Amino acid sequence: MKIIMLGAPGAGKGTQAKQIADKYSIPHISTGDIFRANLKAGTELGKKAKEYMDQGLLVPDELTCDLVMDRISQDDCKNGFVLDGFPRTIPQAEALDAALTKIGQKMDYAVDVDVPDDNIINRMSGRRACLNCGATYHIVSIPTKTEGVCDRCGNPVVLRDDDQPETVKKRLEVYHAQTQPLIDYYKKQNILKSVDGTQPMEEVFRAIVEILGA
């Protein structure tokens, strides 16, 4: 089962992708995790990615495509995978389709978690992240056990630069210009499925499972 998660930044697609991966025992492949690993290690890729992320801009194709394709080719992806944060543009989607076609495969579902912009701006301003281990929280829906302290590693949690309201607005503008066309792209392939992302997380997941099949 090969699934692409679509949705604006802050729509909750990452949370849903993790739950799908757990339920169906397939890897959750997040470009965000790949970038964070490189940021923490201080690699050249990490430094370049950070320049874009801090401005609320999308990381260019050339910094992501090879990493993702290499990940897909690993043994644990033979029964499927959930892509979270890739593809983000039509050229990336076409490159992914071409690479899968070469090995006789194709994507099965593109699941769009649909949330209005105003909801996202309010939601993301409450997000907190641990810069040490990458764990994410929300001051309302997923608070830390101790205020301001990561449950997993004990380091401080912060409001990341790319979760600041002005940066979020810029990220949404970029999303609508560059990423939203993917919805039409996958609709034409008859693999697009949309769910109402304003519902509680459990309800969103239940709707996705109905689409994918238990």
Residues marked active site are found at: 13, 88, 127, 160, 171
Alpha carbon separation from 186 to 86, 163, 171 (Å, rounded): 13, 28, 22
Alpha carbon separation from 3 to 83, 112, 115, 153, 213 (Å, rounded): 6, 11, 19, 31, 13
**Calpha distance 140→40 (Å, rounded):** 27
Backbone phi, psi, residue 51, to 5°: -60, -40
Q: At what angle do helices 44-54 and 31-41 cross, to 10 degrees?
A: 120
Strand order in the sheet with 127-130: 136-138, 127-130, 157-158
Task: Tell which residue, 77, 40, 56, has the closest CA to residue 120.
Answer: 56
